A and B are shown apart, each in its own frame.
Chain A
């Protein structure tokens, strides 16, 4: 689903990613662990197209898979304009997309979701308005009919309810006055509503208490653990992996993957630390 090849990227003039190669298949959950400053967050930003993060070498291809007769997103509908779309972006194809050639909003529409380490506060814009515009912008891009206010609220209510978030919070301005844990929970509600093919979750576990960690972990499993989806979990700690069991664990150090293993690798890291591993 995601093929990252020899990726080099700079932030400003400083090289951060130095030849990162990684491949994710549909149905897999990968965890990336690594010390501070290794380039974990940079990887998430580069993949989602944040301005200022410049790819200097390498490639990323994204192939959002779709099971036959099934689409992503709530109540998928298609209309005639689908046929006019770029084949790579049309739902139901297996054409690989050159991810780096797309704008951030196009990457989102193609099925990529970035869960932010620090979700941004947007005063004056309500969560509900933001999410409805986001979802319908994606649907429009994919040639699907927009959801009406009622249809959207139904989906929003389901997702908020599943993650234990009060509907009142969905009406408040995006992340404004939310606690750290509420912001992360809100990211998961957004992921549930948008229903992406690939989620990159940047330290979604940080700032969560034990109960919230379990709720968020359950959310990730419920929304993303499906045969046609994949997850890249960026994390410092092993504890989230108790709830979301990864198929692969990678160590990211100094801008490249230095080791890959199964779920046990996370336990080993927790015990011995990154230094021991690098030695």
Chain B
């Protein structure tokens, strides 16, 4: 738990606060060389299968990074390696110069949370656990503590259902509560694993613009994984496009191109632009999947 409130967040880093009004693009340039997260050449093997085959990426403070790829491309594995849950067979991860993040430095929203409707936990109790869940002993929660909880829940538009049992909220509402629980300890970096997967398009757009405003306002870096880039396309600073353990990293319009993706997939790929959206599809047999990052239509759980 960090004692200072969110609005004071970056004052200890002089150049951060002076650049706070810069656009996201300028910001990522301004922090080059002072990245928050550095992933260098990581290889991960699970049960003899190589899941990640040498990934390099870096995230600057306040940057919004999209981790795009189909199911099985290694998105969750990469996120869990960054968190330190999975030990890479080679390569390094460093978060602000540390091998493993300190408690409160990173907020995490995992994929698919199942909450029992009978859970005797209000939404705000869950967010409160995000702030002091690691503490042993019988602590008294101060009014300052609940102010922090309220602040985080207001930031994600979850305050109006703070007193309702969390298991009985809708999927979109639960997603907001989980984001608030990840946000409440004032992290420097938030990792979200497929937060849009079970949401309708309107809710997905809401969550993306919410995250975008959080990182602009609080200067928190965000890595979000998704199989469809379209809801994110206007918000992302950088894309990490994963396919069978390899990745290309860059700005959206540099990565989502026929040449780059054909090379990544080792297969002809065609990228079409239509009405501000992109469609990635296999090039030769026109086996199109408009909303799908996997041009080969590999068997997916949702199908």
Q: Do A and B come from one complex?
A: no
B residues near A (Cβ < 8 Å) are: none
A residues near B (Cβ < 8 Å) are: none
